[in-house]
C-alpha cells in the first residue's frame, strides 16, 4: 500500500510540477522589473562599469563585472563570504532583506551566475531579467547614465556554498552510480575535442545539453560573431513546453547536478530547471575545471593536454606576433619619411 501511495504521489508531481513552478518563476520580464523597482527591490546590473555608464535601467546598482568580482583568477571559484559581504555592503545592497533582480545583456549566463551568488552566501536566490538591457531598450523604456548610489549597509552573509556541490561530492555520486548529471558545455568540450583544462572529456555518465539549447535559436552567439544577425533576439528562452521536452530524459523529482567549465553557464540551466519544477538542482561549482584536475575522478572521452605541442604552438604564435610588430614598425618608419 505504501508503495502504491508513493507511486500516486509521484504521478501527481509529474502532472502539476511544470506549470506550477513556471508561475513562480525565478525568470522575470520587463513588467516585473518595473513593478519590483516600485516596490523597493534592488535591481543589480551585472555588467562592467563602462557598459553600465553608457546606459542602464534607472535605479539599477552596479559594482563592476560579476565575472571578475566573484571568480578567483585561477580556480574561478567565488570569494569568501567576508569578501562578498563587503562588496554588497559597501554598495548598499542589503541582499539578506530585500528582493534582488539581476540583469545583463539578453541571455547572458553571467546574470544567472550573479543571481545564484546570492543563494551561495545564504540569501534568497535572485531573480533574473533574462531579456536584460536589450528587452528594456526594445520596450522603449528610459535609460540612465548617472550611477545609482545606495547608502552602505553593515552586512554579514551567513553561509558559503549553498546550493552547490564540490569535487568530492560529485566523485562520490559518480562512483555510487545513478547520479543525474547535466553537462551544459559545447559538444566539442563534452567529446574532448575542445580541451580547456588539464584534460578533456566529461564526467562519467553525464548527459550533454548545451545551455544555448534553452534559447529559441541556439546558434545566435555564433551568428552575432559572424554578423549574420544584428540582435540577441534569438537568445530569448524557449517556451515552457519546449524546455520541458528538452529535458524530458531527466527526472524532476531526482537530484540534478549541473556543471560546465567553471559554474557560469551551468547557472543558467540550473535556474531553467528549477523553473520547470525540478525539486533539487545543484550546481557543481568547480565544474570541469575542478573535476579534470583530479586525475582519479572517473571521466569519459578522456583526452590529456599535450603540453609540449601546446608550448610549441604558443612559441609559434609569439614569433608571428614579433614578426608582425617588426613589419608594423617598418611601415611606420616609412610613413614618417
More confident residue, 307 or 208: 208
CB 294 within 8 A of CB 167: yes
Dihedral pair phi/psi, residue 322, rounded to 5°: -60, -40
Asked if the domains 11-138 and 164-305 are classified in one and the same CATH topology, the answer is yes
Look at residue 98 and tell me whether its pLDDT is greater than 90: yes
CATH of the domain spanning 11-138, picked from 3.10.150.10, 3.40.250.10, 3.40.109.10, 3.40.1280.10: 3.40.250.10
pLDDT of residue 7: 33
Q: What stretch of H or E contains 188?
A: helix 187-191
Give the separation between CA 7 and CA 129, rounded to whole angstroms: 37
- Count how many residues are written for the chain: 337
- Would you kindly state where each structural domain of the chain is located, as residue ranges? 11-138, 164-305
Q: What is the pLDDT of residues 201-246, one digit of tens each?
A: 999 999 999 999 999 999 999 999 999 999 999 999 999 999 999 9
Q: What is the pLDDT of residues 134-165, one digit of tens each?
A: 999 999 999 999 999 999 999 999 999 999 99
pLDDT of residue 323: 81
pLDDT of residue 307: 59
pLDDT of residue 110: 98
Query: Is residue 1 very low, low, confident or very high in pLDDT (cuts 50, 70, 90)?
Result: very low
Of 78-82, 101-105, 332-336, the poorest mean pLDDT is in 332-336
The domain over range 164-305 is classified in CATH as 3.40.250.10: yes
pLDDT of residue 306: 63
Rounded to 10 degrees, what is the CA torsion of 264, 34, 59, 160? Answer: -30
pLDDT of residue 337: 67
pLDDT of residue 4: 32
Look at residue 9 and tell me whether its pLDDT is greater than 60: no
CB 121 within 8 A of CB 61: no
Which positions ≥6 away from 179 have C-beta within 8 Å?
170, 173, 205, 255, 257
Look at residue 194 and tell me whether its pLDDT is greater than 90: yes
Q: What integer is the mean pLDDT of 283-308? A: 91
With pLDDT > 70 as the criterion, what percentage of the chain qualifies?
91
Starting from the edge strand earliest in sequence, which strands make up the sheet with 127-129, in order?
Answer: 27-28, 127-129, 100-103, 42-45
Query: Is residue 5 very low, low, confident or very high in pLDDT (cuts 50, 70, 90)?
Result: very low
CB 267 within 8 A of CB 139: no
Which positions ≥6 away from 110 have C-beta within 8 Å?
46, 65, 66, 67, 104, 264
Q: What is the pLDDT of residues 108-122, one digit of tens each?
A: 999 999 999 999 999
The whole-model pTM stands at 0.86
Give the separation between CA 118 and CA 121, rounded to whole angstroms: 6
Write out the three cell numbers for 68: 571578475
Amino acid at each position: 500500500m505504501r508503495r502504491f501511495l508513493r507511486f500516486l504521489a509521484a504521478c501527481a508531481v509529474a502532472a502539476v510540477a511544470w506549470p506550477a513552478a513556471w508561475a513562480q518563476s525565478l525568470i522575470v520580464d520587463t513588467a516585473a522589473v518595473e513593478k519590483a523597482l516600485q516596490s523597493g527591490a534592488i535591481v543589480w546590473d551585472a555588467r562592467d562599469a563602462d557598459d553600465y555608464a553608457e546606459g542602464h535601467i534607472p535605479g539599477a546598482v552596479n559594482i563592476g563585472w560579476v565575472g571578475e568580482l566573484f571568480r578567483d583568477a585561477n580556480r574561478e571559484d567565488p570569494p569568501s563570504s567576508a569578501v562578498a559581504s563587503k562588496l554588497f555592503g559597501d554598495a548598499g545592497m542589503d541582499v539578506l532583506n530585500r528582493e534582488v533582480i539581476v540583469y545583463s545583456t539578453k541571455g547572458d549566463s553571467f546574470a544567472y551566475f550573479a543571481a545564484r551568488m546570492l543563494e551561495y552566501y545564504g540569501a534568497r536566490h535572485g531573480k533574473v531579467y533574462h531579456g536584460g538591457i536589450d528587452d528594456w531598450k526594445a520596450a522603449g523604456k528610459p535609460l540612465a547614465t548617472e550611477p545609482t548610489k545606495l547608502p552602505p549597509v553593515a552586512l554579514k552573509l551567513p553561509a558559503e556554498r549553498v546550493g552547490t556541490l564540490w569535487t568530492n561530492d560529485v566523485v562520490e555520486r559518480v562512483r555510487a552510480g545513478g547520479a543525474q548529471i547535466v553537462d551544459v558545455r559545447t559538444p566539442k568540450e563534452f567529446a574532448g575535442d575542445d580541451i580547456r583544462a588539464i584534460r578533456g572529456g566529461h564526467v562519467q555518465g553525464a548527459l550533454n545539453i548545451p545551455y544555448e539549447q534553452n534559447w529559441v535559436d541556439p546558434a545566435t552567439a555564433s551568428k552575432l560573431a559572424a554578423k549574420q544577425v544584428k540582435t540577441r533576439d534569438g537568445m530569448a528562452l524557449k517556451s515552457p513546453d519546449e524546455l520541458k521536452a528538452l529535458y524530458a530524459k531527466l527526472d524532476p523529482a531526482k537530484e540534478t547536478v549541473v556543471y560546465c567549465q567553471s559554474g557560469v553557464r551551468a547557472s543558467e540551466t540550473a535556474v531553467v530547471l528549477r523553473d520547470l519544477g525540478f525539486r533539487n538542482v545543484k550546481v557543481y561549482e568547480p565544474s570541469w575545471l575542478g573535476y579534470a584536475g583530479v586525475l582519479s575522478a572517473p571521466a569519459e572521452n578522456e583526452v590529456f593536454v599535450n603540453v609540449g605541442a601546446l608550448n610549441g604552438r604558443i612559441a609559434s604564435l609569439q614569433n608571428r606576433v614579433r614578426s608582425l610588430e617588426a613589419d608594423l614598425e617598418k611601415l611606420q618608419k616609412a610613413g614618417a619619411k
